[in-house]
Structure 1
Amino acid sequence: MFKRLYDFFSSVKLAIFLLLTLAVTSIVGTIIEQQQDPEKYLMEYGPTTYKILKFLGFTDVYHSWWYISLLTLLGINLIVCSIKRLPKIWKVAMEPRKTFPAGQEKTLRISSSITLKGRISEVKEKLVEALKNKRYKVEVSKEDEEEVHIFADKNVFARFGVYIVHLGVLVVLIGGLLTAVFGFRGYMNLAEGTMSNLVSFFSGPKIVELPFYVRCNKFTIDFYPSGMPKAYISDLSVIENGKEVLRKTIRVNDPLKYKGIYFYQASYGQGEAVLKIKDENGERIVGVAFGQPIKLAPKTYLRIVSLDGKTMSIGIKFIKDGKVREGVIKPFIFYQVPGTNKAISMVDFKPVFYTGLQVAKDPGTWVVWLGSTIMIIGLVVAFFIPHRRIWARIEKRGEDKVRLVIGGLSSKGSEGLAQELEEVLGVLKSSYCNNTPKEEEQ
């Protein structure tokens, strides 16, 4: 059973399937606007299509359970594939053959042999020095009076470039999962002088409570002569533990950021309701912009969604434990909130503009950037940095004569290795055999 699971998760076919599925669903998430108000989907697609899209999770692709599952499966597949193939690559990279037996040069794509005038120890030292100057790590693997074997390699880390890419992909996936699980995107509607810590989701009744409040000190909107909005600007303050800890005037594309949460100037609207809330502690007056919820009890909220201009009655949505119930509050008549000891009535309506803020928390952003950087580094290592190995054998052929056989392998760019060998041989020729011709080259 374990072997079957291991083979399944180490399958390249599974990786291709997951990547294609993620690509297709990401395209769907790009075509269909995400986390929008249900009414917008109903107007654009109609009730039946909207129900299908919502059931499939296409209105919030990147937070859907199946998208998170696909990311998780891809991560597991990548880890298992890497573990399965690591021993072979490790052996190739870290356990090379270091001696250079006679005839072995015939198996190498690049090899040369020359006869030099000099002692074997002198040629060895000069060869080692020349290879080190080329940034090779050099090792004398075998040495006696008749023969010396030298092994040199560089950029052994290039063999693991693909694993650096895998690591980068995994970090990107972790960033995506962090955003999918712990991130959110919603909105706040704040009239001047009001503050709230409640963020409503675009795609449903879910509401997030921030650990601080945001207050709208002033909202300014300018219009073109045609009536189209020219600019809207919000002067916002962050209130934490009863104190103002940050203040900023925001515009479109110039958000307020606090504790990893961004507040973007996104829209505007008109309408502020003044409510009277009565409970065992007495009565209090609260001003709230249309569309912005107020908290009545744990996991219990109320949101104003419409106004009847004739009767001045307001349409509300009562939200408790993620379930929505609609209702109407008439002027100066208390509405008993179900399941609570609170009653609410509307005492006034102000036709003032309110600022519409888009609120986003994306804890995986910097993780994704880090993963992307690692992935780029891995791609550079994997495609542009060659792992090169050189073997050399120095054979004694007399008192002052030796034969040098040298050859090498490169994971990529054999032309570069051939040039390096030519330069190394050039150094030796200039030192020991200015007039000695090269014997052979393969």
Structure 2
Amino acid sequence: MLKKLYNLFSSVKLAIVILISLAVTSIIGTIIEQQQDPDKYLREYGEVTYKIFKFLGFTDVYHSWWYILLLVLLGLNLIICSIERLPYIWKLAKYPKKKLAEGAESSFKLVHKITLSVPDKEAVVGKIKEALSKLGYKTEVVEDEKEKNIKYLFADKNVFARFGVYIVHAGIIIVLIGGLLTALFGYRGYMNLAQGGKSNLVTLFGNGHIIELPFEVECKKFTMEFYPSGMPKSYISDLVILKDGKAVKEQIIEVNTPLSYEGIYFYQASYGQGRVFFFHKENQNAKEKQLIVAFGQPFYVGKGKDGKKYFLSPVAAQGGIIFVDLLTKDGKRIAQAQMMPNNWYRIPQTDQFVAIAGADNKFYTGLQVSYDPGTWVVWTGSTILTIGLFIAFFISHKRILVRVKDVKDGKVNIVIAGRTNKGNESLEKDMEKVLGVLKSSYCNIQAPKEEKDV
């Protein structure tokens, strides 16, 4: 059973199937808008289709369990494929055969043979070694005590190119880890802040879950400019980050100029009208606190007797009446109430009380909040992947073995054999340069004739 699973995950066919599945997933995620309000899906697709999409995870593809599973499977496939094939490449790169034994040249694609009238084979070996070193090869003279009449030369260049595909695999795996970090721990939501208001609550797109940030964001000032036609020209927010009640960062943001703090980005995304002035107290006799809350922005009102956290969110106004939603942290609306100014209301399930002091139609800023913990992991993986692809496609591992053998009448027979993992043209040119050095060095002794060029 384990052997079958291992064989399955070491299969290239499985990798192709997973990659096609991820491509189809990406197409679905492009066609269907992700993490939108349920009302939008209901308007566009109808109730039945929306429920199907919701069940299949098509409204939040990149956080769905099956998308995460595909990423995990692809990562496992790459790791096992690498483990399966890496030992052979490692042995080939680190422990090569350095001697070109008699007849071994028949297994090489590129072979040159030449005979020179040179009494000293040491000099010939030296010339070849020098020529190869100038071409960037790492050379080594190999001797055999049993073969006094033969000298061997081993030359290697760009041995790291053998590992280009594994660098690519490593880059992909790191990118996948970054994607998993984002899928599991990242989020994207919104925060509506009235001028003078502050909050640490983010409402997630799609499911409406409420996330509590470890700091507060205050809108110190919100400015809008309009064209003569009345269309908005620009909207700018002056934001302050409050940590433990102290201002730690202030920045003016506008479209495409976000505020970043602790890896969380706040983008100027929208605007709206309407803010409500609330009074909140923890029990009937406690001192009240004043809050300035924008429409659509929840605020915490306390923990209920059932252990759940409860939030209030003003959603609309009609006349002097403010409509508010009572929410749980998972975004579920427990109740909707109508509140009149200057009256205290007890929050169900809690001992908390709220009252409305008033409301106005001033503009509020709409912030898109994004947390992507895998960003730098993905960038790192992408860089490694790019380097690996460059090595895999444009750099070749070249290896040349030379045998210099004394033959009769003071002559030496030279066999030069070469092998590369991609493209023979470059290696052929290097070998021809070595032959050119030999011919130019010993042409005054005898014009050498190459015996065979395979």
Common topology (TM > 0.5): yes
Give the structure 1 partner of residue 392 of structure 2: 382
Alignment of 1:367 with 2:377, yes or no, is yes
What residue identity is the alignment partner of 2:313?
Answer: I
Distance 1:229 1:112, change over 3 A: same
Give the structure 2 partner of residue 153 of structure 1: 156
1:197 shift after superposition: 0.8
CA offsets 1:212-259 (integer angstroms, 9 cap, x no match):
111101111122222221111111111112221111111101111111
Q: 2:448 aligns with which of 433, 436, 442?
A: 436
Distance in 2 (CA, whole Å) between partners of 1:439 and 1:410 is: 23
Distance 1:307 1:322, change over 3 A: closer
CA offsets 1:257-307 (integer angstroms, 9 cap, x no match):
111111100000011111222333232322200111101225523243532
Q: How does 1:246-261 map to 2 (within 5 A)?
A: 246-261=249-264
1:398 shift after superposition: 4.3
Give the structure 2 partner of residue 219 of structure 1: 222
What residue identity is the alignment partner of 2:84?
Answer: K
Distance 1:279 1:107, change over 3 A: closer
Distance in 2 (CA, whole Å) between partners of 1:337 and 1:69 is: 42
Q: 1:199 aligns with which of 202, 215, 223?
A: 202
Distance in 2 (CA, whole Å) between partners of 1:136 and 1:346 is: 81
Distance in 1 (CA, whole Å) between partners of 2:117 and 2:351 is: 105
Alignment of 1:318 with 2:319, yes or no, is no
Contact 2:210 2:329 in 1 (8 A): no
Give the % identical residues: 55
SS in 2 for 1:35: coil
1:21 shift after superposition: 0.9
Give the structure 2 partner of residue 128 of structure 1: 129
Contact 1:200 1:208 in 2 (8 A): yes
Distance 1:322 1:200, change over 3 A: closer
Q: How does 1:165-314 map to 2 (within 5 A)?
A: 165-280=168-283, 281-298=286-303, 300-310=309-319, 312-314=321-323
Contact 1:114 1:403 in 2 (8 A): yes
CA offsets 1:35-67 (integer angstroms, 9 cap, x no match):
122222222222222222111111111111221
Give the structure 1 partner of residue 355 of structure 2: 345
SS in 1 for 2:233: strand
What residue identity is the alignment partner of 1:253?
Answer: N
Alignment of 1:405 with 2:410, yes or no, is no
Distance in 1 (CA, whole Å) between partners of 2:13 and 2:115 is: 53
SS in 2 for 1:60: helix
Distance 1:317 1:37, change over 3 A: farther
Q: How does 1:137-148 map to 2 (within 5 A)?
A: 137-143=138-144, 144-148=147-151
Contact 1:392 1:407 in 2 (8 A): yes
- Scaled by the length of structure 1, the TM-score of the pair is 0.95
Give the structure 2 partner of residue 96 of structure 1: 96
1:93 shift after superposition: 2.5
Contact 1:317 1:327 in 2 (8 A): yes
1:399 shift after superposition: 6.3
Alignment of 1:416 with 2:426, yes or no, is yes
Contact 1:213 1:238 in 2 (8 A): yes
Contact 1:316 1:329 in 2 (8 A): no
CA offsets 1:142-171 (integer angstroms, 9 cap, x no match):
344311122212111111111000000001
Q: Which ranges in structure 1 are unaligned for 5 or more consecutive residues? A: none
SS in 2 for 1:91: helix
Q: 2:345 aligns with which of 332, 335, 347?
A: 335
Give the structure 1 partner of residue 64 of structure 2: 64
- Scaled by the length of structure 2, the TM-score of the pair is 0.93
Give the structure 2 partner of residue 426 of structure 1: 436
CA offsets 1:97-151 (integer angstroms, 9 cap, x no match):
2221222223322111112232011111221221122221222233443111222
CA offsets 1:412-433 (integer angstroms, 9 cap, x no match):
1211111111111111222223
CA-based RMSD of the aligned residues comes to 1.7
The 10-residue stretch of structure 1 (261-270 or 96-105) with the greater mean CA deviation from structure 2 = 96-105
Distance 1:227 1:301, change over 3 A: farther
Distance in 2 (CA, whole Å) between partners of 1:318 and 1:99 is: 78
1:322 shift after superposition: 4.9
CA offsets 1:65-116 (integer angstroms, 9 cap, x no match):
2211111111111111111111222233233222212222233221111122
Distance in 1 (CA, whole Å) between partners of 2:207 and 2:59 is: 10
The 10-residue stretch of structure 1 (340-349 or 294-303) with the greater mean CA deviation from structure 2 = 294-303
What residue identity is the alignment partner of 2:91?
Answer: K
